[in-house]
Structure 1
Amino acid sequence: MRRADRVNAPPDGVPDGTSHGESISRLLRAWRARVDARTVPELRWAQPRPGPRLSQAHVARLTGVSEGWYRALEAGRRQDFSESFLLRVAEALRLSEAETLTLFLAVCGRRPPAEPAAPREELPAGVRALLAQQVSYPAYLSDGAWNIVAANTLMGEWFPWVLRPGANLMRWTLLHPEAREQMLDWEDSSARVYLAMLRVASNSDPANTELRSLVREILAADADCRRIWERESDVVEHRDGDVFRLRLPYHGNEEVRVTSHVLLPIQRPDLRFVFITPYDG
């Protein structure tokens, strides 16, 4: 347990009028008040036996600090509170994800440390439903390496390649012969932009071995891509709002102009939700 610090804090439950953290003080008191101390296993053998009210002393005991240190937090005093301590407070007070975020932002101005990402096999039902309900426009989901995760029916009709096993937007656009026929002004409107996107992505996530392997594959396989990569230094993060000129079998090989829209699903921010609409400009 941390040595008790000399903190001139107000009595338990009394807000500190000189503090800049009055709002988080109120929230912490409310969050503590809703926890029944009798339901906390770690306090089961505490003496004296706890009643229904979880006290500041109880929270200090649960988080491994002095009562004065926890009282300073609840009073809204500016201290060097560590992330591990704030996480223990969140656990002791049984805070939700949103409440933990509020605690961190109020106390130290940053988000809680991210937990290691768990493997994600299934799309959330809401994301899958949103994709399926796009019946007017082509739409698809891609991951950080531009693998096609899912596509709606119209996307498969416009671009049958998305239905092939292992479909990848970058690989098709930059290496497949049909892309140079279907995406008009291929080098200027597609190749240069997609390679500029790969520059950003490969520098943003150097640990992504799949992405780095994709870049090597594209540069090794195509002389035009190597030339553009070596001579140019443009960087582009996404193609939201860009206009494409297409000539697809779906449209009887007549030229069409479309706009791409890129969204990040909040349930799966590792994915891009992209849909394509007619260009009215």
Structure 2
Amino acid sequence: MDREDGHDPGGDHDHGGDHGHADGESISRLLRAWRARVDARTVPELRGVSPRPGRRLSQRHVARLTGVSEGWYRALEAGRRHDFSEGFLLRVARALRLSEAETLTLFLAVSGRRPPETGRTPAAPPAPGLPAGVRTLLERQVGCPAYLSDGAWNIVAANALMGAWFPWVLRPRPNLMRWALLHPEAREQMLDWDDSCARVYLAMLRVAANSDPGNAELRALVAEILDADADCRRIWAEEHDVVEHRDGHVFRLCLPYHDHREIRVTSHVLLPIQRQDLRFVLITPVDED
């Protein structure tokens, strides 16, 4: 239950409890950043409150908006483990005006479950091997590049056109995040690399890291990328965006396959019903009409 009488004396009301963590995926850091975006003067429920709120939305304000004690909300923002209910987390999401991806990140980081509004059923445990039907569907995509990746963005399989557009998928143990964020050729081939590639992919890693904190492979991948690249470290520390997937994202490429002519493409992310632990991704050119 959400305790109404939880009092936390002596704490700093606007500082989380994870001072030792300056990383961009910490839920404490994200909650503070999300709260800082909201102008308390624009919140109808705070009108008439004494003292009159200024621009800064405080922890006390969020506690009032969500119907809990200030100490209870402070425990959430400090990253302390409690039995936070779905109702409370939904009220926090509304109070902080979180997007769908941000609400998802909050739920996964705090409770390990998805928010109830998504209406999605949990993925079935992965079946061993790659189903023949899924592989056949992938190989029959002859008009656009397509690939399958797992939860850590390892490329499980790719069709012929994907290998022609992006030869790196044919190398041993290809991984989308390592190539896109660490390989020099990615900065040449992914135009607007900083904004269209790095920020988006790091935001996706942030969701994944919160959704499965015990996944050693994911944690090692994040650590490897941040250790290896100063630009990624800067973006990770400065940004707090979260993105669940890249479905529908339009980006620009400059590939040897197209004689280095700029093309605009969009990605489509599907989940195979037989292997919902995998992503089925297709890349299609954007109609230039």
Which of 227, 244, 253 is the aligned partner of 1:237?
244
1:91-146 deviation line (CA, Å, top 9, x unaligned): xxxxxxxxxxxxxxxxxxx999998x4672x2101100000100000000000000
Number of residue pairs aligned between Structure 1 and Structure 2: 170
Q: Residues of 2 paired with 1:248 and 1:165: CA distance?
A: 21
Give the aligned partner of residue 256 of structure 1: 263
Q: Residues of 2 paired with 1:114 and 1:134: CA distance?
A: 25
| Runs (5+) with no aligned partner, structure 1 | 1-109
Residue 219 of structure 2 corresponds to residue 216 of structure 1:
no
Partner of 2:204, secondary structure, is helix
Give the aligned partner of residue 34 of structure 1: none
Give the aligned partner of residue 180 of structure 2: 173
Give the aligned partner of residue 128 of structure 1: 135
- Would the alpha carbon gap of residues 190 and 113 (structure 1) be closer, same or farther in structure 2, given more than 3 Å must change? closer
Q: Residues of 2 paired with 1:182 and 1:114: CA distance?
A: 34
1:53-84 deviation line (CA, Å, top 9, x unaligned): xxxxxxxxxxxxxxxxxxxxxxxxxxxxxxxx
| Runs (5+) with no aligned partner, structure 2 | 1-118
Give TM-score scaled by structure 2 length: 0.56
- Would the alpha carbon gap of residues 248 and 113 (structure 1) be closer, same or farther in structure 2, given more than 3 Å must change? closer
Mapping of 1:137-176 within 5 angstroms?
137-176=144-183
Give TM-score scaled by structure 1 length: 0.58
- Would the alpha carbon gap of residues 111 and 176 (structure 1) be closer, same or farther in structure 2, given more than 3 Å must change? closer
Partner of 1:192, secondary structure, is helix
Q: Which amino acid aligns with 1:151?
A: A
Deviation at 1:192, TM superposition (A): 0.2
Following superposition, which runs of at least 4 residues in structure 1 exceed 3 angstroms of deviation? 110-115
Q: Residues of 1 paired with 2:127 and 2:287: CA distance?
A: 40
Give the aligned partner of residue 210 of structure 2: 203
Rg comparison, structure with higher value: 1
Which of 158, 161, 182 is the aligned partner of 2:189?
182
Identity %: 77
Which of 225, 233, 236 is the aligned partner of 2:232?
225
Q: Residues of 2 paired with 1:114 and 1:259: CA distance?
A: 25
Q: Which amino acid aligns with 2:271?
A: L
Give the aligned partner of residue 267 of structure 1: 274
Partner of 2:251, secondary structure, is strand
Mapping of 1:57-136 within 5 angstroms?
117=125, 120=128, 122-136=129-143
Q: Residues of 2 paired with 1:198 and 1:130: CA distance?
A: 27
Give the aligned partner of residue 74 of structure 2: none
Partner of 2:241, secondary structure, is coil
1:146-187 deviation line (CA, Å, top 9, x unaligned): 000000000000000001111000000000000000000000
Does structure 1 retain, via aligned residues, the 8 Å contact 2:123–2:277? no
